[in-house]
Amino acid sequence: DTEVTQTPKHLVMGMTNKKSLKCEQHMGHRAMYWYKQKAKKPPELMFVYSYEKLSINESVPSRFSPECPNSSLLNLHLHALQPEDSALYLCASSHWTSGGKDTQYFGPGTRLTVL
């Protein structure tokens, strides 16, 4: 079972709104990731949580606020976004296993449109 779920599938929000993206995995993985993907571009890493602690923040603007309530859940809180933040937001998870055996499994993504 390699399922990572994301809600909502689509989200339209205004620049003054506050919204949240949710990601969930039940594979016993200890690391979770947020990626941003613009059209016709590869995914770009935003944040990594390992063992529920923020491990990597790729200099993401503060209008994006991640939260990892437990090892199965990952949220991305959105506030005061700009139209250029419109993108596909992908969540991924992995075991965080050493020895080069770690593989990231991705969810279906949330398509975000900022008006």
Binding site for another protein (CB under 8 A): 2, 31, 41-43, 45, 48, 50, 55-56, 58, 88, 90, 92, 94-109, 111
CB 3 within 8 A of CB 26: yes
Quick one: 44 or 80, whose CB is closer to another protein? 44
In the complex with another protein, the residue whose CB is nearer, 107 or 114, is 107
- SS3 string, 38-107, reads CCCCCCEEEEEEECCEEEEECCCCCCEEEEEEECCEEEEEEECCCHHHCEEEEEEEECCCCCCCCCCEEC
Identify which of residues 55 and 82 has a Cβ nearer to another protein in the complex: 55
- Residue 77: CB minimum distance to another protein, A: 21
